[in-house]
Chain A
Amino acid sequence: MLFNSLAFAFFMPLVFFLYWALPHKLRWMMLLIANAMFYMSWEPKYLLVIVAMTIVSYLCARLMEKSKNGKQKKVILIVGILLTLASLLFFKYTNFTLSSIGQILKMCSVPVGEYTLKLMMPIGISFYTFQMVGYLADVYKGKITAQHHIGKYALFVSFFPNILSGPIERAGNMFVQFDEEKTFDYQETVYGLRLILLGFLKKMVFADSMSKYVDQIFDHATQYQGLGLIIAIILFTFQIYCDFSGYSDIAIGVARLLGIQLMTNFKQPYYAGSVKEFWSRWHISLSSWFRDYVYIPLGGNRVSKARRNLNLMITFLASGLWHGANWTYVLWGGIHGIYQIVENTVTELIHGKGKKPSTSVFNRLLHVLLTFILVSFAWMFFRANSISDAWYIMTHMFSGFDWNQAMADTTMSYLSIAKTSAAILFLVVFDFFQQKRDLLKDMDRLKLPVRWLIYVLFTVIVIVLSLHNGVKQEFIYFKF
Chain B
Amino acid sequence: MKKLVTKLIVFLLILGLIFIPVNVIIDPYNIFHYEEPRNNGVEPNKNFIKTKYVIHNQDKFDSLVFGSSRAGFFNVSKLTDGVYYDMASSEALPAEHVRTLNILIQHGFIPKNVIMLIDDITCFVDPKMHERILYRVPYPDQDILSQLSFYARYCDLITTYEALEVIKEENPVDPDFLERYQTTGTENLEITSEFDGTNAVGYWADYYELRTDEAISDIQDMIDLCNQYDIHLTIMTNPLYHKTYARAVESGYLEFIERLSETTDFYNFSGINHVTIEDRCYYEASHYTAQVSEWMISAAFQDEIDPVVKAQGFGVHVTQENREEFISLLKEQAREKGIRIYGE
* A and B: bona fide binding partners: yes
A6 touches B14 (CB 8 A): no
B133 touches A472 (CB 8 A): yes
A6 touches B148 (CB 8 A): yes
Query: Binary interface profile of B, 51-92, with partner A (CB < 8 Å = 1, else 0)?
Result: 000000000000000000100110000000000000000100
Give Cα distance in the complex from A473 to B149, angstroms.
18
Closest CB in chain B relative to A220 CB, distance in Å: 15
B69 touches A471 (CB 8 A): no
- A460 (CB) vs chain B CBs: closest residue: B18
B153 touches A471 (CB 8 A): yes
B134 touches A480 (CB 8 A): no
- A472 (CB) vs chain B CBs: closest residue: B133
- B170 (CB) vs chain A CBs: closest residue: A478
Contacts of B90 in A (CB 8 A): 476
B4 touches A467 (CB 8 A): no
Contacts of A472 in B (CB 8 A): 132-134
Closest CB in chain A relative to B141 CB, distance in Å: 13
Give Cα distance in the complex from A186 to B41, angstroms.
50
B149 touches A476 (CB 8 A): no
Tell me if A455 is interfacial: C-beta within 8 Å of chain B.
Answer: yes
A475 touches B166 (CB 8 A): yes
Give Cα distance in the complex from A218 to B217, angstroms.
36
Contacts of A464 in B (CB 8 A): 156-158
Closest CB in chain B relative to A238 CB, distance in Å: 22
Contacts of B4 in A (CB 8 A): 186, 189-190
- A20 partner, pick from B1, B133, B156, beta carbons under 8 A: B1
B39 touches A467 (CB 8 A): no
A473 touches B18 (CB 8 A): no
Say whether chain A's binding surface is mostly helix, strand, loop, or mixed. helix
Contacts of A20 in B (CB 8 A): 1
Give Cα distance in the complex from A184 to B157, angstroms.
36
Contacts of B69 in A (CB 8 A): 480
Tell me if B301 is interfacial: C-beta within 8 Å of chain A.
Answer: no
A480 touches B191 (CB 8 A): yes
Interface residues in B, total, Cβ within 8 A: 42
Give Cα distance in the complex from A115 to B166, angstroms.
53
A473 touches B159 (CB 8 A): yes
Known A7-B145, A460-B18; judge A480-B1 contact (CB<8 A): no
Chain B positions 105-148 with a Cβ under 8 Å from a chain A Cβ: 132-135, 145, 148
B149 touches A459 (CB 8 A): no
Give Cα distance in the complex from A479 to B132, angstroms.
22
Tell me if B32 is interfacial: C-beta within 8 Å of chain A.
Answer: no
Query: Binary interface profile of A, 437-480, with partner B (CB < 8 Å = 1, else 0)?
Result: 00000000000000010011001100111011011111111111
Tell me if B283 is interfacial: C-beta within 8 Å of chain A.
Answer: yes
For B3, B152, B163, the residue with the greatest tally of chain A CB atoms inside 10 Å of its CB is B152
Tell me if A10 is interfacial: C-beta within 8 Å of chain B.
Answer: yes
- B2 (CB) vs chain A CBs: closest residue: A186
Give Cα distance in the complex from A480 to B133, angstroms.
19
Known A468-B159, A478-B42; judge A456-B15 contact (CB<8 A): yes
Query: Binary interface profile of A, 173-193, with partner B (CB < 8 Å = 1, else 0)?
Result: 000000000001010011000
Known A7-B145, A186-B3, A186-B4; judge A474-B133 contact (CB<8 A): yes
Chain A positions 9-64 with a Cβ under 8 Å from a chain B Cβ: 10, 20
Tell me if B36 is interfacial: C-beta within 8 Å of chain A.
Answer: no
B283 touches A468 (CB 8 A): no
- A21 (CB) vs chain B CBs: closest residue: B1
Known A460-B15, A480-B69, A480-B287; judge A473-B158 contact (CB<8 A): yes
Give Cα distance in the complex from A456 to B133, angstroms.
28
Give Cα distance in the complex from A464 to B132, angstroms.
15
Closest CB in chain A relative to B176 CB, distance in Å: 13
Give Cα distance in the complex from A463 to B187, angstroms.
35
A467 touches B41 (CB 8 A): no
A471 touches B187 (CB 8 A): no
Give Cα distance in the complex from A475 to B187, angstroms.
18
A475 touches B163 (CB 8 A): yes
- A184 (CB) vs chain B CBs: closest residue: B1
A475 touches B19 (CB 8 A): no
- B155 partner, pick from A7, A190, A467, beta carbons under 8 A: A467
Give Cα distance in the complex from A184 to B159, angstroms.
41
Closest CB in chain A relative to B26 CB, distance in Å: 13
Give Cα distance in the complex from A439 to B227, angstroms.
65
Contacts of A459 in B (CB 8 A): 11, 15
Closest CB in chain B relative to A197 CB, distance in Å: 11
A480 touches B132 (CB 8 A): no
A456 touches B73 (CB 8 A): no
Query: 9 shortest A-B CB distances, which residue pairs?
Result: A467-B156, A476-B43, A468-B158, A480-B187, A6-B149, A472-B133, A464-B157, A468-B156, A473-B159
List 26 A-B pairs, Cβ < 8 Å.
Answer: A6-B148, A6-B149, A20-B1, A452-B11, A460-B18, A460-B19, A463-B15, A463-B19, A464-B157, A468-B158, A470-B132, A470-B153, A471-B132, A471-B134, A471-B156, A474-B133, A475-B42, A475-B135, A475-B163, A475-B166, A476-B43, A476-B90, A478-B39, A478-B43, A480-B191, A480-B283
Additional A-B contacts beyond A467-B158, A471-B156 (10; CB < 8 A):
A459-B11, A463-B15, A467-B152, A468-B158, A471-B133, A471-B153, A473-B159, A475-B42, A477-B41, A478-B40
